[in-house]
Amino acid sequence: MKEIHVTKVEEAVKNLCMQAACYLGEDVEGLLKKGLQKEESEFGQYIIQQILDNVELSRTESIAMCQDTGVAVIFVELGQDVHIVGGSFQDAINEGVRRGYQDGYLRKSVVDDPVFKRKNTGDNTPAVIHIDVVQGERLKIMVVPKGAGSENMGALKMLKPAEGLEGVKKFVVKTVMEAGGNPCPPIIVGVGIGGTMEKAAILAKKALTRKAGQHHKDSNYEKLECDLLEEINHLGIGPQGLGGKVTALAVHIEACPTHMATLPVAVNLNCHASRHAEIILFG
């Protein structure tokens, strides 16, 4: 049994929040550069170049690349042989978020009640936390700040099994088409298929945390990712929705077993500022 103190968790989350907001990963930046070569629209090229310049500027000045520094979504893989000591694990994560958003000059976007008060909590807490217990004695924490512009354009549908592959494709493409310029294309398309309603939604979000452009290991899903990307980039939406060939940089699919009578499909879109930062802590 390895012990990890909550202060270590807090510090890690704080740093990851700031890192994710200010430094875009090389994976996404690489796809943007490829997109610049592919884009035929003059506006599209101009927009992607501005985005790349912005990535550089935010990195140099250590400031947020986008003012919507999002809700802090936290994926945790907690080794079953790890013992968290010194206080509450969830409180430590939220304290890390609070300090990261404060010290990093990041925007606080969380409101306390979704329907009635909608009062800003002032420190961007609470985070949305997903914890998986896994084998081993390490703790992996991934911070995925998620902005509302793209989050608002996601969708979930419980398809009939008879709708099959074509049904899945149709729903994903329709979701991207209806989203248009709102999710800040070029986007990354996260797709979760199978499980139950909530499982599909979490898989779609998790798909966005994969290294951008990396394909599913299963060749069927890899092909589906390629086919969907091609179809999406034929829609004409283009960078920022002003027309062009580069609407999406990548499609990432995660799939899992499901009930014989169901085919859940969730689509979670991410803007070009596809931010995620992770760390592995050992006891």
Binding site for another protein (CB under 8 A): 40-43, 46-47, 50-51, 53-54, 57-58, 61, 63-69, 105-109, 118, 120, 122, 148-149, 152, 180-182, 184, 231, 234-238, 240-245, 271-273
Least distance to another protein, CB of residue 118, Å: 8
Query: Which long-range contacts does 21-24 make (Cβ < 8 Å, 24+ apart)?
Result: 21/64, 21/65, 21/69, 21/104, 21/106, 21/145, 21/275, 22/58, 22/59, 22/62, 22/63, 22/64, 22/65, 22/104, 23/58, 23/59, 23/277, 24/55, 24/58, 24/59, 24/65, 24/273, 24/274, 24/275
Residues 6+ apart with CB under 8 A from 114: none
Least distance to another protein, CB of residue 149, Å: 5
Question: By C-beta, is 15 or 58 nearer to another protein?
Answer: 58
User: How is residue 180 annotated by DSSP?
Assistant: T
Does residue 92 come out as left (phi exceeding 0), alpha (psi in the -120 to 50 range) or beta?
Answer: alpha
Question: By C-beta, is 159 or 242 nearer to another protein?
Answer: 242
Least distance to another protein, CB of residue 117, Å: 12
Least distance to another protein, CB of residue 51, Å: 6
SS3 170: helix
Rounded to an integer, what distance in angstroms lies between the CA atom of residue 276 and that of residue 283? 23
Question: By C-beta, is 158 or 165 nearer to another protein?
Answer: 165
Question: By C-beta, is 195 or 238 nearer to another protein?
Answer: 238
Rounded to an integer, what distance in angstroms lies between the CA atom of residue 37 and that of residue 45? 8
Asked if residue 186 lies in contact with residue 156, where contact means CB atoms within 8 angstroms, the answer is no
Least distance to another protein, CB of residue 12, Å: 22
Question: By C-beta, is 9 or 176 nearer to another protein?
Answer: 176
Least distance to another protein, CB of residue 215, Å: 21
Question: By C-beta, is 105 or 282 nearer to another protein?
Answer: 105
Question: By C-beta, is 84 or 271 nearer to another protein?
Answer: 271
Count the Cβ atoms, other than its own, within 10 Å of residue 269: 27
Least distance to another protein, CB of residue 107, Å: 4
